[in-house]
Chain A
Amino acid sequence: MSSIPDENTALAMPRAIRLLQKCVEHKIQDCLIQRLHFNDLYVLLLSLDIADIRQAIHNQKQIANRKKGVKYRDISGNDAVKFLKGGGG
């Protein structure tokens, strides 16, 4: 989990409470928490955390590029093909 501190340094907080905390953070609905199998909920939280980390890395890269004065644009696959063929971009 991204924002969960290391087991050795963290307060002795039960795993279930930490997961519920994550559910609140990711705004997972109550009915989903109650109905989802524990493993499925765990995987859902992990995948949301991974998505958050990817987004954070992406944002940091953009900030670093802006500081260097490099223009950075997200393009689709079609745009990339167009650019390589010399038809735009």
Chain B
Amino acid sequence: MIKTTLPVVEKSINEKGELVTVEKNIDVTIDTSIFAEERWERNFPFNAQKETLFAYIERIRNSGKLEDKASVLSNLKALYCFMEGDAIPDFKSFCQMFDLTGGGYLERLIEKIKFIFNLVLSSSTVSAKNS
């Protein structure tokens, strides 16, 4: 288990009726065990049919799609499977924690996803290309 933080966005309406957006970091636990693969197969069976979760992120990293803003949602799918704990009940509520409309926040999120994926791949002693 690897503990790290994830930048999320909370939106609310204040007393004046204005939309207030607050960015904060939440603590998350990254699980790289077989249970991450199990979450991948349970939540995204179509993707899991073709490749394992780890083979997927290795492919995404090698193709340079980690920095691609258009691939953020796909990358969030993989990221969701690494999340351990009851704080994130399903993929829908996980996606609602982020603001994918762009700006500096999206850049920070992409950087964080890139960091976590590199961490996840480097914590293994073997390569996923043959799995």
State in angstroms the CA–CA spacing of A84 and B3 once bound together: 60
A10: interface (CB < 8 Å)? no
Docked-complex contact B34 and A14, CB < 8 angstroms: no
What secondary structure prevails in chain A residues at the interface with B?
A: helix
Docked-complex contact B41 and A40, CB < 8 angstroms: no
Docked-complex contact B125 and A40, CB < 8 angstroms: yes
A16: interface (CB < 8 Å)? yes
B39's closest neighbor in chain A, by CB? Answer: A16
Also in contact, A38 and B34, with CB within 8 A (given A14-B41, A15-B52): yes
A41: interface (CB < 8 Å)? yes
Chain A proximity of B2: nearest CB distance (Å): 10
Range of interface residues on A (Cβ < 8 Å): 10 to 19
Query: Using a CB-CB cutoff of 8 Å, which residues 31-65 of chain A contact chain B?
Result: 33-43
Docked-complex contact B126 and A43, CB < 8 angstroms: yes
B74: interface (CB < 8 Å)? no
Docked-complex contact B126 and A15, CB < 8 angstroms: no
Report chain B residues within 8 Å CB of A14. 38, 41-42, 48
B45's closest neighbor in chain A, by CB? Answer: A14
B131's closest neighbor in chain A, by CB? Answer: A42
Chain A proximity of B77: nearest CB distance (Å): 16
B32: interface (CB < 8 Å)? yes
A residues with CB within 8 A of B: 14-17, 19-20, 23, 33-43
